[in-house]
Structure 1
Amino acid sequence: MINRVLIRIRVIQILYSTYQNGSGDLKKAENDLIFGLQKSYDLYFFLLLLLVEITETYTKRVEARKAKLLPTNEDINPNTKLIENLFILQLKSNIQFIEYLKERPLSWEGHENFIKGLLEDILKSDTYLDYSTDPVSDYESDREFWRKIFKSKIYSNEQLDDILEEESLFWNDDIEIVESFILKTIKKFDYESGDQQELLPMFKDEDDRVFATKLLRESMFNVKNARDMINKYAQNWESERIAFMDMIIMQAAITEILTFPSIPINVTMNEYINIAKTYSTQKSSSFINGILDAVVSDLKAENKLLKK
């Protein structure tokens, strides 16, 4: 689930923090990296849990209305499609989901008002109206309902973004990426898999796990070599005048170019230029692009690039 885009961002953040603090402690940096990536995976389960919490809130609402002193006919005979939604029932019973929440307890406690407001928004939506009045009731329609609701009511929800940022500083940069993986997970669910349905793993494969730690480690080992290359081509710029974040981004990019022969150069350059657009100054992306172009040209001329 944690893709290389997110890994690169987290490595840049750890490098920035490490050098700002002046520690240079590799072991601490590696521990911080693993902790940060674990928090990203926590967010994945926290958002899945939100779907369950919304359903539980609706269930409590239905039960409370039935218990009223003078219940209406609608109170006594509520629409229970949301409660009986087969996708949510499958998610609630998912073994991996249950075990993860036992090991790393996550809770929406304290955000009840947000969940109630979100539920009201869902119940007023055309998506819910179509779903609740559709005489066809099957697993596919139940799963598709939640895919549509997540995409329209939860994805890019500003109030939710604020809550997530308050819950964890690590989630600020993860939200959009992890939300896209929730949509992928919903689409992937299969009724036949029952409670054994596979959720997305923390890393797609062992290569990505290795990529994360190796990129950080080699970036710290390679700091002098990378900065010498940067200074060589930063014409009219003393290293002290280059934005510190730009220096960190270029340091990681050069390290990746030199260390991972299976990753195409243009992929590496594009990824770090995109990071610069988000995390550095307005002119950083073009500046970094120019420096990296010059470094790559020099490395090619000296036959120092071994790419598969």
Structure 2
Amino acid sequence: MINRRHIRVKVMQSVYAMLQSHNDDIIREEKFLKHSILKMFDLYVLNLLLLVEVQKLAAKKIALSKKKILATKEDLAPNTKFIDNKIINSISESVSVESYMEVNSLKNWELDDEYVKIIFDELQKNNLYKKYLDTVEDSFKVDKAFVIDFFKEIIAPNEKLAEYYEDKMISWVDDIPFVNTWVVKSLSKCKENKTFMLGTLYKDKDDEDFVANLFRKTVLKHKEFEADIEEKTPNWESDRIAEIDMILIKMSLTEFVHFPSIPTRVTINEYIEISKDYSTEKSSYFINGVLDKISKDFLKNKRIVKIGRGLL
């Protein structure tokens, strides 16, 4: 499921896009933001389905080998450990996976099957595959460990696959690392003799509401917060502050004022970490300094009023 940090990243990107385009259609931009988050689930399911399609391709190759005129002993009695893999079979038989695929018309691996072949070729060349096939132990534990390693070592880092995903949806560029981690967590949670169920996109309704509220309030209040920022950065012209830094600070102030259950220190730490990935080398220090000054001022003037968990 999507976590609060990645929600903040998605909101940051949407705020940046809206301010850059000078577009004031907040409803349309909010819809696009929610859509881009929903599409993350497509990416999550496509990765799971890729495991299934690679297994199907392996099964087809085994079937064809048996039909050879000069079939070898190995062709006639192949190693079926991979096509019998319990984890992949559980995904293949999952009603939740099949239903999502049908409702959302996820036919990518049917239409672009060359990527299934690319991954299968990489798998066959990897020592991980040979080692798995040679493993005598036949257990759920061995199958699970192999599938997790297969995804982490072969699928997740594949550059051609990443380029394919990026071509399909530009917002997936930043989602791929997060979704890869999500897939690994889902595989790790698989239990023997249990039906595979897709994860949920949001942890709860609060997280789902957090998306719209953070975006809307940041956009509507950004001019007001700009004045607060300028007051605490007298030696900086606003156009000298990196645009991403400015947006991250504005989002932080939105959380200070409009999200009473989120502790101020949690907000500051989250945006400092995001700045390390999306802004300049010194941004984290700058953002920390500005937010520390503003938070003290807001607390003094009672613009920050936290309740419950937010008091901690």
Task: With the length of structure 1 as denominator, give the TM-score of the two structures.
Answer: 0.93
Q: Identify the residue that residue 64 of structure 2 maps to in structure 1.
A: 64
The within-5 A match list for 1:161-176 is: 161-176=162-177
The within-5 A match list for 1:123-142 is: 123-142=124-143
Matched, 1:210 2:217: no
The within-5 A match list for 1:164-243 is: 164-194=165-195, 197-243=196-242
Can you list the C-alpha shifts for 1:74-107, whole angstroms capped at 9, x where unaligned?
1121111111111111111111111111111221
How far the C-alpha of 1:151 sits from its partner, in A, is: 2.0
**Distance (Å, rounded) in 2 between the aligned partners of 1:123 and 1:61:** 12
**Distance (Å, rounded) in 1 between the aligned partners of 2:120 and 2:157:** 16
Q: Identify the residue that residue 34 of structure 1 maps to in structure 2.
A: 34
Between 120-129 and 12-21, report the one with greater CA deviation: 120-129
How far the C-alpha of 1:109 sits from its partner, in A, is: 4.5
Q: Go from structure 1 to structure 2 and tell me whether the alpha carbon gap of 1:156 and 1:262 turns closer, same or farther (over 3 Å shift).
A: farther
User: What is the total number of aligned residue pairs between the two structures?
Assistant: 306
Q: Go from structure 1 to structure 2 and tell me whether the alpha carbon gap of 1:138 and 1:65 turns closer, same or farther (over 3 Å shift).
A: same
**Distance (Å, rounded) in 2 between the aligned partners of 1:259 and 1:96:** 37
How far the C-alpha of 1:166 sits from its partner, in A, is: 1.9
Q: Percent identity?
A: 36
2:245 partner amino acid: D
Q: Identify the residue that residue 8 of structure 2 maps to in structure 1.
A: 8
Check whether the contact 1:156–1:176 (CA below 8 A) recurs between aligned residues: no
Q: Identify the residue that residue 148 of structure 1 maps to in structure 2.
A: 149
Check whether the contact 1:18–1:29 (CA below 8 A) recurs between aligned residues: yes
**Distance (Å, rounded) in 1 between the aligned partners of 2:114 and 2:26:** 43
Matched, 1:157 2:147: no
How far the C-alpha of 1:231 sits from its partner, in A, is: 1.0
How far the C-alpha of 1:5 sits from its partner, in A, is: 1.4
Q: Identify the residue that residue 120 of structure 2 maps to in structure 1.
A: 119
Check whether the contact 2:109–2:115 (CA below 8 A) recurs between aligned residues: no
**Distance (Å, rounded) in 1 between the aligned partners of 2:169 and 2:76:** 41
Q: Identify the residue that residue 283 of structure 1 maps to in structure 2.
A: 282
Gaps of 5+ in 1: none
**Distance (Å, rounded) in 2 between the aligned partners of 1:110 and 1:292:** 49
How far the C-alpha of 1:68 sits from its partner, in A, is: 2.3
The within-5 A match list for 1:19-98 is: 19-98=19-98
Check whether the contact 2:218–2:251 (CA below 8 A) recurs between aligned residues: yes
2:151 partner amino acid: F
Q: Identify the residue that residue 262 of structure 1 maps to in structure 2.
A: 261
The Cα RMSD (Å) is 1.8
2:96 partner amino acid: Q
1:224 partner amino acid: K
Can you list the C-alpha shifts for 1:247-299, whole angstroms capped at 9, x where unaligned?
21211111012222222222211221222222223332222222111111111
Check whether the contact 1:86–1:142 (CA below 8 A) recurs between aligned residues: yes
2:142 partner amino acid: S
Task: With the length of structure 2 as denominator, give the TM-score of the two structures.
Answer: 0.92
Gaps of 5+ in 2: none
Check whether the contact 2:16–2:244 (CA below 8 A) recurs between aligned residues: yes
Between 234-243 and 17-26, report the one with greater CA deviation: 234-243
How far the C-alpha of 1:243 sits from its partner, in A, is: 2.3
**Distance (Å, rounded) in 2 between the aligned partners of 1:121 and 1:30:** 40
How far the C-alpha of 1:110 sits from its partner, in A, is: 5.7
Can you list the C-alpha shifts for 1:199-258, whole angstroms capped at 9, x where unaligned?
210101111101111111111222122111111112222223322222212111110122
1:23 partner amino acid: N
Check whether the contact 1:2–1:41 (CA below 8 A) recurs between aligned residues: no
**Distance (Å, rounded) in 1 between the aligned partners of 2:191 and 2:116:** 27
**Distance (Å, rounded) in 2 between the aligned partners of 1:117 and 1:192:** 31
Q: Secondary structure at the match of 1:97?
A: helix
